[in-house]
Structure 1
Amino acid sequence: MALPEGFLPDADIPAPLHEALGEATERLDDALCLADRVAQAKRSSSEADVDADEMPSATWLALSNVRRAELARVVALSDFATETLARDPGWLPVLDAEGELDESPPREAWEAELAERLEAAEDEAAMQAAIRRFRRLRMLGIVWRDLCRAPRGQGGEAGMWGTARDVSSLAEICLDGALSWLEYHYAPRWGRPALRADGTPQRLVVLGMGKLGAGELNLSSDIDLIFAFAEEGETEGGRRTLSHQEYFTKLGQKLIGALDAVTDEGMAFRVDMRLRPLGDGGPLVGNFATLASYYQDQGREWERYAMLKARPVAGDLEAGAELLASLRPFVYRKYLDFGAIESLREMKRLINREVKRKGMADNIKLGSGGIREVEFVVQAFQLIRGGRDTELQLTSLAAALRCLTDLELLPGEVTDALRSDYAFLRDLEHALQAQKDRQTQTLPEDSLGRERLALALDMADWPALVARLDEARGRVREHFDAVIAPPEEEDDERNTAEDASHEELGALWREELTLAEARETLTTLGFETPEATFKRLAGLHRSRAVATMQRIGFERLDALMPLLLEAVSESHAPDVALERVLPLIEAVLRRTAYLALLRENPDALRQLIRLCAASPWIAEQLARHPVLLDELLHPATLYSPADKDELADELRQSLARVPEDDEEGQLDALRIFKHAQVLHVAASDIVGARPLMKVSDYLTFIAEVILEQVLAMAWKQVTRKYGRPSGHPGERESDEANFAIIGYGKLGGIELGYGSDLDLVFLHDADPKGATDGAKALDNAVFFTRLGQRVIHLLTAMTPSGALYEVDMRLRPSGNAGLLVTTLDAFADYQHQQAWTWEHQALVRSRAIAGNAALCERFEVVRREVLGQPREPEKLRDSVVAMRRKMRTHLGSSDQAGRQGTFHLKQDPGGMVDIEFLCQYAVLRLGDEAPEMLAFSDNMRILETLEESGRLPADQARELREAYLTYRGISHRASLAKAGSQVEIADIDDHRRRVRAIWAQWMQEDDASR
């Protein structure tokens, strides 16, 4: 015998496996004896003695005790390993010597070895044999490492994920090696493809799908592929000229055979091409334009699911990445796509039917709580949120699980459990497939197969393995149901109780009830005008928009409407709530993923009804920008606006997800951010979760962080085209613009409302005689004008998400007749020498918002100097009073309106502007005497400073603050209610009288004359 007795230890092999170990030992012994005889024959033919250490049996006897124990475990667990070693016993010492039994070698080493083998192949048969022997040798090492590592079921880079990565790398190397050989071999006959329009060569693009695309293949997996090429044309340099379509089709067919054909050496990898457009009935290869058109016009939901894992794995990787980038909008929607869940449910239903029909309950991939359900959980989030949270655009399940935690979409304990259970299930799958190198996920029924699995998973016995498996599958099913199960299935008791109600409301929506029945049903639900409500519903149901909906869209609408009617009935005013929410439903009839969002998230539906019932402004915003429905999914943050630092961080993250050169995408991200954050503020305002001052603070913070980002974007865009402006002589160059945005009015006074525009002034401080350093040089003054224009464009440009803000630049020096951007020195000179009193009043409510820090500080110095200069009291008072009269005449209520008992909150005597003018007058009047008056731009802190300095009696300061807060509170609520600025005098008469009295005292203006 070539192997001595006891060469393979059996101490760690359970008794039921001793027979299998014995049989494996006999096979290996016979193989070594045969190999020794062959070696001797070869040496004899050369008339030389056989060197003992060149005999295969000798190299095996040199194995360490540890390696022998591993060998015993491997051959006891894997017929594939036993057969491979029996066929090529010389491979074991080679793998041992190279360390490949302990860790996978660098990918480059595998690539170099296969390239060397293929270089010696003179025909296709030799090429196929080389690939198959290479694959079998490498798989022996992979199986060995997988079966001998410990602990099992823990995942990690050295565990199951490492095995999956190695198999994927092996498949990619074989694909690319075979493709390169085929291209070279057939070049004399077929030629090479013509260059692309940009002058780059064309090669076949091989997209890996499924687990190959994810880099997570199992030990005996099919490889799912899609073939593509960039551009049409004809080959050049061959004996035959082929169209690119014909050339790449032939090449693709050869590539499939190179891996998939069964030869004397077996098969390398089974190749599945059914995921390509139109499956087996479609062309084997498609050009980029054809593929893009197909997915845009005909792509189905399951194809979106399949494309989640698409990755270039061979051929032209760069062109493959280009193709996938063009298909990304098909895979990932810009909005939250809850419609994807129903597609996944349907796929799961089909799988369940197949499992039941074929009796595959023990299938650990497709059965309940199996591998596929973990994948569905992760891919549901990717399909739903991947367009918005681009971090989720990952092919790897392991990486996507980590991302779900980072984005707080699933709790860490859930993703940890899923990762651990998935690793266990995949370990079990690998152990199954290692037995015979066959693609199977069905648990064995024979005792030997079961004992092998128990040992492979380091379990005491089969019952222990089954217990661990049941535990894992139970957890997976629980998490799967939490994400994928339809909402009505989550609570069977409640579902049973509500079935009849939903059926009746569905009949109401579908106009299956008589008018009398509809009236009774709607009255029971609390509607005060049931006939008008029924007519309103019928109008939507009969509308052309509904009539022309695709089937899946109508099914979503049909499923949503009973839930919507039920939620509306729970509001305090069902008629109003329904009237306000129906325009939103009409707005999303062509984007039915939003219908699915509301259908899948009952809490979000309730939040929608609550907000619409409370505010027609919010209802209008949601109908205009349905993407804001996404915000309803998180009530905890919906009613808790972020502070400025959090806002800035969130906006940076949103913009980072959009390519820098995609201006439209960047603008959309800015506008969606703004609308979403304003919605948070409005929601918290409605429920009284934030005091008035905080509401204005948050609205102002939103504008500030947007202005900072807009300026940064404009600076990059303009400097990229014209270069950087030169500074004053001796100044150090900076990446920061010598540019500042100054906020006036409500922005400057930290008092923005929901519909406020932005009063802005732009300043710069570059060398007025300098120029930019770019290829298209501009004078500094022209450069900063272009920069200012760019900022205004970014703020006001209309996109599908609307505009950011209306911008008013009339408060700059000389108003609309002045320069768009002025130097700080020119601004200071204008304020000192030419500005009117009303312009100094405006300057009181100004502050630097964004831009160069040093320039912003210098502006504050100029502001203090201008506001703090001595003024003649009577002349100042007369100017302020005259301006107030002018405003009151043009903007206040008419006499008729006054007699009718209405009051304009801002402009009528005793209103908000009186308080603002009093504050501005006080700053200008007292600034030279009390520098502390110059510190603040907001009215509340100016009033507090007046009180603290003793220049305003405490009772008057309190009365003015209370009146101002009351007015602003009413104004905010009026904005949300779209009610305008006119209120009943009776509601605010006490405040109005006190403000008028204080105005008369301070401004010496007879109250009767007002």
Structure 2
Amino acid sequence: MVVIEDEGGAVDTVPRMQTTAGRLARLGFADGARAERLLDELGPEAVGDIDLLASLVGTADPDLALTSLNRLAERDPSVLGSFRSDPGLRTRLLGVFGVSAALGEHVVRHPEHWRLLGGAQAVQRPTEAELRAELLLAVGAEPENPEPRAGDATTDTLVALRVAYRGRLLHLAARDVTGELSLSEVTAELSDLAGAALEAGLAIARSEHPESDSVRLAVIGMGKCGARELNYISDVDVIFVAEPREGADGTVDENRAIQLATRLAQGMMRACSTSTPEGSLWEVDAALRPEGKAGPLVRTLASHQAYYRRWAKTWEFQALLKARPIAGDAELGGQYVSLMNDMVWQAATREKFVEDVQAMRRRVEAHVRTSEAERQLKLGPGGLRDIEFAVQLLQLVHGRMDPLLRRRATLPALAALSRGGYVGRDDAKALAEAYTFLRQIEHLIQLHRLRRTHVVPEGVADLRRLGRGLAMTIDPVGEFTTQWKRHAMEARRLHEKLFYRPLLQAVARLPESEDRLSTVAAKARLEALGYTDPTGALRHISALSTGVSRRAAIQRTLLPVMLGWFADAPDPDAGLLGFRQISDKLGATPWYLRLLRDETAVASQLARLLGTSRYATGLLMDAPEAVTMLGSEAELDPRPVAALLSEARAMVSRYPGEAEKGVGAARGLRRRELFRTAIADLSGHIGIEEVGQALSALNDVTIQAALDAAVGKVEMERRTPLGTRFAVIAMGRLGGIESSYGSDADVMFVHSPLEGMPEREATDAAYAVANELRRLLALPSSDPPLIIDPDLRPEGRQGALVRTLASYAAYYERWSSPWESQALLRARFSAGDAELGVSLLHLADPLRYPERGISDAAVLQIRKLKARMEAERLPRGADPALHTKLGPGGLSDVEWVAQLIQLRHAGRLPSLRTTRTLETLRAAVGEELLSEADEDVLSRAWIFASRIRDAIVLVRGRAADSIPVDVRERALISRVLGYPPDGSEDFVDDYRRATRRARRVVERVFYEG
């Protein structure tokens, strides 16, 4: 028994001496009964040959492979015996038979050719010279003197050429279908084989004209043949160039030479395209020559040069990108290509060059038959032409300045564009994968009948053969169709992104000479893209990219892309200005522009960031090295608090006796981490709760670093240890772990004298520390301030700045009011002596979590205080409905609901003992104190208002509580919140709706409940 995997990957046990139609069908044969009959016809040894059966099952079309094998065995039964001694032969031959009916027929007609696929020769890749020699010998010419006997191009000669060519095609296809060659190796060998056939065809033509040595004729390969990326069956595009040789008498007859060269060219074309009993090779197409089919078939070098300098259209220079000598006089061909290259790489300076190339692609696409458009691999949307045109346009625009882009073939050119930063790595990878996949499909389709086609067939059997030919075995039709559509869609998306890249022409050829795009036109384009100050934008572009420095060259590479990214951001002008400012600071730093050029994700993120957030741009100005965070999601994760704290304290310790420097370094760390949080927020990597956590943790770390520095400063000035323990208690949004970008740090200070330390001295030292802490964090700096606000301490501004633990206990026992109990709900240890901080929190617990809840009188007092705050604290002239903090349904409304629930019930329900608003609401639902529907309404309003407050800071660079009246600022904020460019009114309507619903809940739960 032998185990063989069937089409679905399942194993099947096949008896060595017996197969059935049903079993064969399960293994992949479409017609099991017919397969059984054909196997029987091969003889008893074949019927029992499990290796043979496994090889057949592994082909793209087992039925087709078995049919061709059966026919070949009738002509040459020895092939089956050779299979047993050479498994590689069996795999290659059957692999070809399963893909190509046409090559199967060829081997049946010429059974000696199956031997090309056996032994060591089967895997050897022939050189270009070997292919030429073989095909020249086939037509009776010597490789050293490629001119057969004089006479007519007999049918026998043409047949011999075709037989030799197809033998080589068979040899190549066998290595292709078995995966022994890459796509680039396959297309290069096909191109070399075509060149060899043209050389043989030219030898045949010379044999008909004994005087042919009086003219030099070069055949220039164009299109895919020129680029060495030819298909299996394709027209071979050529251009002919000729020069007369000097006669024996020293005279030159150019006209006669061109006439003779034309006859040679025509003879060569006939030798390849004439139909014979062995068919034809392919059409030789000279339509890409000057003036196309209306122009002379052959021209001299000077005539070509004159035409291209004066008359050539844009598409003709695009075609010349692929030009390569492939047959005839190699020296003359080299001269032609060298001469043309100088003009090709200046073509982008032509007026409307980019627009012409784009228009050509649209014309090509418009001529695709509607019925075939979705199945066209070459010309349809998402087809090969989409990829090729995009690559060629970028090559021609940027290749003038960057010689590394001057590649003929698509994949090497795409790789060069990626290395140079002209195409993002991910985009280049996706395009290369799509191109490779589409070319593989094209090859499989063409190999089947050796016919020139680029249309994916519709029949299930054909689709199944294609899928299996690409090693898809579980669901060949479904998997093939899915992958093909996916690659086509991605190719189309990237084509439109790259091919119609904003300002590609204008910026790639930024003003250096008179023929550049006019300032008026450039301004119009910038304005159309959304720049409100096109004059300023042009000034920034010029400053960044003018000159011959490496920096300017890379900026010319970056700007075409980044201008489009800025245009996609909410504020393109601010984005471009910020980019110029950061580039001015970092442009001379080698890694900066190299990073943007090589890491497209970084440049893309930077453009969107600069065009979205003044706050983030400001952070980056004084810490531009933070740009390295962009482009990697892992870099956007908030850093662990322990790591930040260790780093901040280490910074302070490096400056003993220099508290200002130490805190300055810690504030620099805070700036960097604020930037990390801002970009994580803007990119949607973290949500509003995570933003609050990250900002609160960062403030705690900064306060601790400043406290370390303050203690060191006070001890140095007093020349004695502090003598008291000191702790900072977070209050308000900091205590609630809900800090926003513009939040102050609400705190209380507590100290506890060490044993033997007089309380008065200890209190003086604690005051000195508290004041120094506030001073250090308020020092003028380009870093965002962290204002320490101690107004929530007992007695508010009138009370002592610092108290002992005993003083807090005495005050709260005797004087505490309901609002102070409410404020303590958000109290949390922040910095300093943790044991002391926890002691104060334990002291506060009976006030904020009263065992029996608060009295009805206290509830009434809180409600009155809330109502008075709504009436008195709202800024004059502010629209209450748009005030995120104090407006109806805003932050304060939601927070007071949560806090009242805590004051009434947290004493008996530990789940409510949290400093965080949303956690309180969720816990209230769990304790059945609040319905899920009410919690959802309140949480949505709180999150919306919090996001708006943060968005205001991110966009404007400064804090505000009200949604701006200014239409433009409102639009920018709405974009940060994820609304479309025209969605600012929807944003305001959504906020009003959310807060109205929240206010209804507040009135019912807070004021009535």
TM-score by length of 1: 0.46
Q: Please say which structure displays the higher CA radius of gyration.
A: 2
TM-score by length of 2: 0.46
